[in-house]
Amino acid sequence: MKVGRERRRTLVCQELVEVITDYLEGALSPGDRARFETHLAGCELCDRYVEQFRRTILQAGRLRAQDLPDALAAELLDAFRGWRG
């Protein structure tokens, strides 16, 4: 979350989106976690985004392979094979 050589004191929405997984996994430094949570406290849209992300993870964790139709499972596998982060 560094910008150039200087670290910003406040977090902007785009930065939050880029580090949400680290936040939810507890992988942010204490300072970055504080910046993240300070931003959430003042940004309703990001707060909703994080809550939606949490609910998505919860629901996805309940899926079983047999819950997906074969065609959808194949389509998802193809999409993930072609995706590069």
CATH number corresponding to 13-82? 1.10.10
Long-range contacts of 21-26 (CB under 8 A, 24+ apart): 23/50, 24/50, 24/53, 24/54, 24/57
Q: Helix/strand/coil (H, E, C) string of 60-80? A: HHHCCHHHCCHHHHHHHHHHH
The amino acid that residue 33 corresponds to is: R
Tens place of pLDDT per residue across the chain (85 aa) = 444 434 556 788 999 999 999 999 999 999 999 999 999 999 999 999 999 999 999 988 888 888 889 998 899 888 888 776 5
Distance CA 82, CA 66 (A): 23
Look at the alpha carbons of 36, 18, 48, 57 in this order and tell me if their dihedral is positive or negative.
Answer: negative
Domain range list for the chain: 13-82
Q: Quick one: pLDDT at residue 68?
A: 86
Confidence (pTM): 0.66
